[in-house]
Amino acid sequence: MSGGDLINIHPSELKFPFELNKQSSCSMQLANKTDQYVAFKVKTTNPKKYCVRPNTGIVLPGSTCDVTVTMQAQKEAPPDRESKDKFLLQSVAAPHGTAAKDITPDMFNKEAGKVMGEFKLRVVYVPANPPSPVPEGSEEGSSPRASVLENGNQNNVLFDASTRSGLEANHTRSMEGPRNKSSEELMKNEISKSRAGGFSFLFVLLVGLLGILVGYLVKKT
């Protein structure tokens, strides 16, 4: 964005991360697009609220200068988080060899024939910690690992891992239930078979002994 015919200013807005009771800063870069020395001065509608470093200076031909603007900690937020504060950056061509200590307020007076530029910047408040994008829900049947790889979110990694462990535990319990039940039934069946086999053996033994006894009695008579 052009700041007159002398310097370019980037960005065109001063964006401050806003958080109550915490100061925040933003910066802008001034680029001298001429072959002259350019003096600049920064003004604001609320000087008690902001600190500008440097608020005046010299930008050498073809070079840049970074300006940092710090907003003091605020105890309350403005309505709708919108600021009415504004900044004005003035620039003027200066004699070759001019230093920052040589800058005077009179240099920025508007006079006929003086090459001078003015650029207004508005203040914009942005969230100090913007929320992360909410990942879309994974499709039914998709694996937790696939969801993690697609979303790439560490929180999702922990969440999916916990969910996966719970599902595996439930699956294990559901598998163990029928297995335990089948084992019990099998054991009962074996006991029943054992009991049935024992009874059959005793019956055969008694019949054999009875047959021997009958044969002995027949021979004796």
Q: Is the pLDDT of residue 195 over 70?
A: no
pTM: 0.57
Least confident interval from 52-56, 72-76, 156-160, 206-210 = 156-160
Report phi then psi at 93, rounded to 5.
-70, 135
Least confident interval from 88-92, 136-140, 149-153 = 149-153
Same domain, yes or no, for 12 and 120?
A: yes
Q: Which is nearest to 160 in space by CA: 149, 171, 173?
A: 149
Residues 6+ apart with CB under 8 A from 60: 32, 37
Structural domain containing residue 168? 143-183
Same domain, yes or no, for 80 and 175?
A: no
pLDDT band at 130 (very low <50, low <70, confident <90, very high): low
Q: Please give the biggest Cα pair distance in the chain.
A: 161
Task: Render 132-180 in DSSP notation, one character per residue.
Answer: PPPPPPPPTT--HHHHHHHH--HHHHHHHHHHHHHHHHHHHHHHHHHHH
Within-domain flag for 106? yes
Contact criterion met (CB below 8 Å) for 12 and 121: yes
pLDDT at position 3, please? 43
DSSP E strand stretches across the chain: 2-3, 7-10, 13-18, 24-32, 37-44, 50-53, 56-59, 64-71, 86-94, 116-127
Q: Is the pLDDT of residue 2 over 50?
A: no
CATH number for the domain spanning 103: value is: 2.60.40.10
Least confident interval from 14-23, 51-60, 151-160, 173-182 = 151-160
Q: Is the pLDDT of residue 68 over 70?
A: yes
Within-domain flag for 24? yes
Q: Please state the domain count of the chain.
A: 2
